[in-house]
Amino acid sequence: MDTKTTVLNVLNDLTGTDVSGDLDGNLFDSGLLDSMGTVQLLLQLQSELGVDVPVSEFERSEWDTPNKIIARVEAMQN
């Protein structure tokens, strides 16, 4: 599975919502992600894709849409 598909599956599992139709939608403003969801997201990304993002280095504005999350994960994998 590619990175984009994996990230979208993780977001779907965490939010209970298919976010693939709005890749630029703000996950925090829409209420789909909160601080607890963020921790779960980072743990899942580490587990499934091997990217390690310490919560202390998490900048919400850089991770607030599916497209931004996909881009950040892909950059961390390279």
Domains of the chain are 3-16+27-77 (1.10.1200.10)
Give me 2's structure tokens: 């590619």
Which residues have C-beta within 8 Å of that of residue 11, sequence separation ≥ 6? 17, 19, 27, 32, 41, 66, 69
Q: For residue 78, name the pLDDT band (cuts at 50, 70, 90).
A: confident
Q: List, for residues 18-76, the tens digit of each pLDDT value.
A: 999 999 999 999 999 999 999 999 999 999 999 998 878 788 999 999 999 999 999 98
Q: What is the pTM of this model?
A: 0.92
Q: How far is residue 32's CA from residue 66's CA, in Å, rounded to a whole number?
A: 11
The sign of the CA dihedral 51, 3, 16, 65 is: positive
Give me 48's structure tokens: 């499934």
